[in-house]
Amino acid sequence: MVLHQFAPYVRKQLKLYIAGFVGSLFRFLIPLSVPLVMKYLFDGLLQNETVSNVGKIRQISLIAAVMLAVFFLIRGPMEYVRQFFLHKANNNIIKALRTDTFRKIHTLDAKYFAEHRSGEIGTRFFDDIEKIRGYMTAVFSNIWIEMIVLIFVIGVMAALQFQLTLLAVSLVGFQFALAHLLSKKLKLTTSRMMKYRSVLNGFIFEKIQGAFLSKLFSTEKKDNEELDRHLTQYEQLTDRQAKINAISLAAVNVLSDATPFIVVLAGSLSVINGNLSPGALIAFFAYVDRMRSPVSALVQAFPAIAEGNVALRRIFEFLDIPVTVKEKERAVPFHGFQDSITFRNVSFSYTPDHEVIKNLSFTLHKGRTYAFVGESGGGKSTILQLLTRIYDPDRGEIRIDGIHLKDLSIAGIRNQMGIVTQDNFLYSSSVKENIRLAKPDAGDEEVIAAAKKAYAHDFICSLPNGYDTEIGERGVKLSGGQKQRIALARVFLKNPAIILLDEATSALDNESEQLVQKSINEAGREKTVIMIAHRLSTVRNADTIFVIRNGTIIEKGSHSKLMALGGYYKKLYDQQNPEKSRAPLSMVNTAYENLILQSRHTMI
């Protein structure tokens, strides 16, 4: 099954492999003529008393000229052809596999990333695919060339002395049988080792990302102990692989080294009995010695093939991961939001035993501002993920302008939406490039205008290189508020019809929040804005507020209506605003204040 999936990649490089194969034939077969030349020189020329010494020197000179010409004019260029074309073919396949793997990453559901570490995915992208290089060299070149060399050598040896050839072949056959037996154990061990390497890489990658957190909580010792456990486990697996490989090579190499000696002893008896000439024995010994190279190469190919088979299986397992959020073949293009968004009896769960959203129904109209508020884990952010088709509902339907969301082009849907989340991802490039991500062809003026609208221009200008400042991995050189304003600038540059804000101002100070909120309110006059918020002061101007609790809508209306209703919304608002004269304070800040008071009380 795996080889069937791999075959199309190989077929595209077939011409390069054939060229490399032809080069390999010349590269390996030309040196095999040397023992026959040696036999002729010893038996047919040097011991031939009918030829004068001058004649012998002339023939030796001619043979030397021809052989040197063959080596330098044919073997040398063919070595280049072999190396270059095989390398090119292997690289093209690896490039194609990495391209397909990268594209697969973009098609995977959010659920997959929630359940797998990024380091494990990286292992498949880098380590597993790189393992295929040795596999391809072995399978598409070395094995066949070495087999041809071995068959050629055995054929010439049989012509020289059949009985001695049988002895040599039986010794070589035993080496292959032993190597094949050990390769089965090697394949199983290699599979376990490569699987655990993914776990180790996932652990390392996660700890690198969380290095600063480890410092803050002083968990370096615990992290080192955990790393030691992982490395010990991995070391045991690699040691087992090395042990099996060492046993295989030791056994095979001992037999390989002993084979010429055994054959020469038997051949010497044939010379004594007159069944073999001295020159033929020299040639036979040379060919027996030549047998060692293909035998050794074939035996050493077993580990590369074992690792390659495991790597291929892991790669195509990844490429075959089913995708649940799919675009229909004839998806309807979505060029602009015209009327409304409707959720009708929508239910969704991340795990089978817990529904996050339960039978949710509502309608959002174009050009209005909506807010979803409520307790954490109530399903607010999930609504945005369903709307952007990060996930699909388990039941019910979502429609935009009367068209089922699943019938629309996914790219078309997302092109009409701009989202800012609480944890915004920034690339390790410049500020300008991070903003321009929303519109790659945007000019500098457009980027600056978007930054000004997000009230990010001033702090950007204060950076060492302004808009060209490199901000580090995940924007590590910026504060949380600065990162959020860049994310907002990105959305303003995109200028989408629908703006999605998931705790978009949570990391801003009060002054910046008011400025950004003003900008969002201004954008809301022409856009449809959907906000998720815990801080209720940020949603007071929304046209309609939906109060979510346990995955259902329990209240809805404007801020004033909900306050007059005196229900759950008013309770939350009063908790965040205990005194009218007091500035709005989030529940997180309240918890922090209580923690400080508790610490002081403990100290007293």
pLDDT tens track for 489-500:
888 888 889 999
Least Cα distance to 144 among 21, 256, 23, 300 occurs for 21
Residue % of the chain over a pLDDT of 90? 12
- Go through the domains of the chain in sequence order and give each one's CATH number: 92-319 (1.20.1560.10), 340-416+496-603 (3.40.50.300), 426-482 (no CATH)
Count CB-CB contacts under 10 A for residue 128. 25
Amino acid at 4: H
Evaluate if residue 566 carries a pLDDT over 80.
Answer: yes
pLDDT tens, residue by residue, 165-181 = 888 888 877 777 777 67
pLDDT value for 348: 92
Site of tokens 């995940």: 474
Residues belonging to the chain: 604
Q: How far apart are CA 39 and CA 29, in angstroms?
A: 17
Token pair of 499 as six digits: 């703006």
Task: Measure the CA angle with vertex 267, ends 266 and 272; round to 5°.
Answer: 100
Antiparallel, parallel or unpaired: β 354-365 and 369-374: unpaired
Q: How far apart are CA 285 and CA 468, in angstroms?
A: 70
Query: 225 or 119: which carries more pLDDT confidence?
Result: 225
Token pair of 73 as six digits: 């004019």
Long-range (24+ apart) CB contacts under 8 A made by 64-70 are 67/33, 67/34, 67/37, 70/30, 70/33
Instruction: Give the full edge-to-edge strand order of the sheet including 340-351.
Output: 354-365, 340-351, 395-400, 403-404
Q: How far apart are CA 228 and CA 392, in angstroms?
A: 41
Evaluate if residue 580 carries a pLDDT over 60.
Answer: no
> How far apart, in Å, are the Cα atoms of 480 and each of 221, 318, 465, 474, 531?
28, 35, 20, 11, 19
CA-based torsion, 75, 80, 84, 90: positive or negative: positive
pLDDT tens, residue by residue, 366-412 = 989 999 998 888 888 899 999 999 889 999 999 999 999 999 998 89
For the residues 508-518, what does the mean pLDDT come to? 70
Average pLDDT, the chain: 80
H helix runs in 349-423, sequence order? 380-387, 410-415
Q: How far apart are CA 261 and CA 35, in angstroms?
A: 17
pLDDT value for 142: 72
> How far apart, in Å, are the Cα atoms of 266 and each of 52, 167, 252, 272?
34, 9, 21, 10
Evaluate if residue 347 carries a pLDDT over 90.
Answer: yes
H helix runs in 71-109, sequence order? 76-107
pLDDT value for 586: 44
Query: 371 or 130: which carries more pLDDT confidence?
Result: 371
In the chain, what are the helix, strand and coil shares in percent, each to the nearest 5?
65, 10, 20
Least Cα distance to 463 among 491, 436, 430 occurs for 430
Token pair of 467 as six digits: 């808009």
Confidence bin at 591 (pLDDT 50/70/90)? very low
Query: 312 or 182: which carries more pLDDT confidence?
Result: 312
Q: How far apart are CA 197 and CA 456, in angstroms?
A: 43
Confidence bin at 553 (pLDDT 50/70/90)? very high
pLDDT tens, residue by residue, 265-293 = 887 887 787 777 777 777 777 777 777 77
pLDDT value for 399: 94
Antiparallel, parallel or unpaired: β 528-533 and 498-502: parallel
CA-based torsion, 419, 390, 363, 564: positive or negative: negative
pLDDT value for 255: 74
Helix or strand or coil: residue 354? strand
Q: Within its chain, how far is the Cα of 111 from the centroid?
A: 17
pLDDT value for 194: 73
Burial of 258 (0-12, 13-18, 19+ CB in 10 A): exposed
DSSP per residue, 7-29: HHHHHTTHHHHHHHHHHHHHHHH
Evaluate if residue 212 carries a pLDDT over 60.
Answer: no
For the residues 84-100, what does the mean pLDDT come to? 89
Least Cα distance to 263 among 177, 154, 357 occurs for 154
pLDDT tens, residue by residue, 294-327 = 777 777 777 778 778 888 888 888 888 888 888 8
pLDDT tens, residue by residue, 26-82 = 877 777 777 777 777 776 777 677 777 777 788 888 878 887 887 788 878 888 888
Least Cα distance to 140 among 263, 260, 20 occurs for 20
Query: 298 or 457: which carries more pLDDT confidence?
Result: 457
Least Cα distance to 435 among 417, 454, 461, 416 occurs for 454
Antiparallel, parallel or unpaired: β 340-351 and 354-365: antiparallel
Q: Within its chain, how far is the Cα of 438 from the centroid?
A: 24
Site of tokens 């093209």: 92
pLDDT value for 2: 76
pLDDT value for 440: 86
